[in-house]
Amino acid sequence: MKNIQRFGGAMFTPVLLFSFAGIMLAISILFCNPSVFGSLASEGTLWYGIWDTVQQGAWTVFNQIELLFVVGLPIGLAKKASGRAAMEALVTYLTWNYFIAPFLRTGENFLESCITEGLWLKIAQTKA
């Protein structure tokens, strides 16, 4: 039970940001809505520019949600050297993303060429 509570406390760290970011996002979307604020909220006005900037900033938390958990969980779970644990988790996550993206693109091209050129049949025939 103690470990579950510790994990819940670690999850709480990144989740705290959701409420503030959500409120700021809702307010900025509302203030950029011409149906509510009329011509004041039209694109190109100073009012719209300010609230659009706030909106883009509020999206940061939701656009980078995985990074919040990658860094926040190790900080909450580590008994010693929490900064080191968070940095290791972040580097591992980023390395995995940079590694897997080209791998998937290469795999997609390979799979596509296998289907279009009938390589599966050639491979099967050579093994038979």
Instruction: Count Cβ atoms below 10 Å from residue 53 Cβ, excluding itself.
Output: 11
* The pLDDT of residue 122: 56
Q: Alpha carbon of 7 to those of 12, 22, 34, 85, 91: distances in Å?
A: 9, 24, 44, 15, 21
* The pLDDT of residue 127: 56
Q: How far apart are CA 70 and CA 5, in angstroms?
A: 19
* The pLDDT of residue 64: 83
* Mean pLDDT value of segment 98-116: 65
Which is more confident, 102 or 72? 72
* The pLDDT of residue 75: 78
pLDDT at 124 over 70: no
79 confidence band (pLDDT: 50, 70, 90): confident
- Residues of the domain holding 27: 2-127
Number of domains in the chain: 1
How many residues are listed for the chain in this entry? 128
pLDDT (tens digit per residue) in 32-53: 999 999 998 888 888 888 898 8
* The pLDDT of residue 32: 93
